[in-house]
């Protein structure tokens, strides 16, 4: 399947091993870390290469368990929209991050729109869901703008840095 999607402002494309340096530089941010579950802080180059070794082989599979789209702008990787826990023809979880200097320009809402459409149309999925931490209003806005509905508040459903945390679950269905 073709995983390259171009829009006016950016290109979504599969990660390559050579993206590790750009990812390590642009994701290494406490403000990204605090509202995500699996992104460490500080973020080292080895974190990027370790993660790539897990996700890059998936692009070649007939039924990938995840598809991560790198957001490329001006020749640089500035963020990501990823589909994970893909259950073929059924559902997937969506997650995303964007480096801080590109915030406030509607890039993530646009990228999520494109990737959600990809999930429904190309992957023929029927449910795309996301989790956010309640204080993360910006991420909630990204989902609202894309027609995601807040389905519930899951109390103490996850742990971050050893602490129990609540999370909202959001979904769009087709």
State in angstroms the smallest separation of the CB of 49 from another protein. 28
What is the residue-wise DSSP string for 21-83? Answer: HHHHHHH--HHHHTT-SS--SS--HHHHHHHHHHHGGGGGSSS-S-EEEEEEETTEEEEEEEE
Q: For residue 32, which of 46, 47, 18, 42 has the smallest C-alpha distance?
A: 42
Among 2, 30, 104, 155, binds another protein (CB under 8 A): 155
Among 34, 126, 145, 160, binds another protein (CB under 8 A): 126
Among 134, 135, 147, 152, binds another protein (CB under 8 A): 152
Among 24, 34, 129, 136, binds another protein (CB under 8 A): 129
Total residues at interface with another protein (CB under 8 A): 19
Per CB under 8 A, does 124 bind another protein?
A: no
Q: For residue 96, which of 42, 143, 51 has the smallest C-alpha distance?
A: 143
State in angstroms the smallest separation of the CB of 125 from another protein. 9
Distance CA 16, CA 20 (A): 8
Distance CA 30, CA 12 (A): 24
Per CB under 8 A, does 13 bind another protein?
A: no
State in angstroms the smallest separation of the CB of 171 from another protein. 6
Residues ≥6 apart with Cβ < 8 Å to 54: none
Segment (H or E) for 16: none
State in angstroms the smallest separation of the CB of 142 from another protein. 19
Per CB under 8 A, does 117 bind another protein?
A: no
Q: Please report, as residue ranges, which positions from 56 to 75 form the binding site for another protein (by CB under 8 A).
A: none
Q: For residue 151, which of 173, 136, 126 has the smallest C-alpha distance?
A: 173
Residues that bind another protein (CB under 8 A): 87, 90-91, 126-127, 129, 149, 151-157, 159, 164, 169, 171, 173
């Amino acid at each position: 399947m073709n995983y390259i999607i171009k829009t006016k402002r950016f290109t979504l494309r599969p990660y390559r091993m050579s993206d590790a340096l750009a990812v390590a530089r642009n994701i290494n941010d406490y403000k990204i870390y605090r509202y995500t579950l699996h992104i460490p802080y500080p973020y080292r180059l080895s974190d990027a290469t370790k993660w790539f070794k897990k996700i890059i082989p998936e692009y070649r599979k007939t039924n990938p368990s995840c598809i991560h789209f790198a957001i490329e702008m001006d020749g640089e990787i500035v963020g990501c929209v990823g589909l994970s826990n893909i259950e073929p023809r059924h559902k997937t979880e969506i997650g995303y991050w964007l480096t801080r200097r590109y915030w406030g320009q509607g890039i993530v809402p646009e990228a999520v729109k494109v990737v959600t459409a990809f999930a429904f149309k190309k992957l023929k999925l029927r449910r795309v869901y996301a989790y956010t931490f309640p204080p993360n209003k910006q991420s909630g806005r990204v989902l609202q703008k894309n027609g995601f509905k807040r389905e519930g508040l899951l109390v103490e459903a996850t742990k971050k840095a050893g602490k129990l945390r609540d999370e909202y679950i959001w979904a769009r269905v087709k």
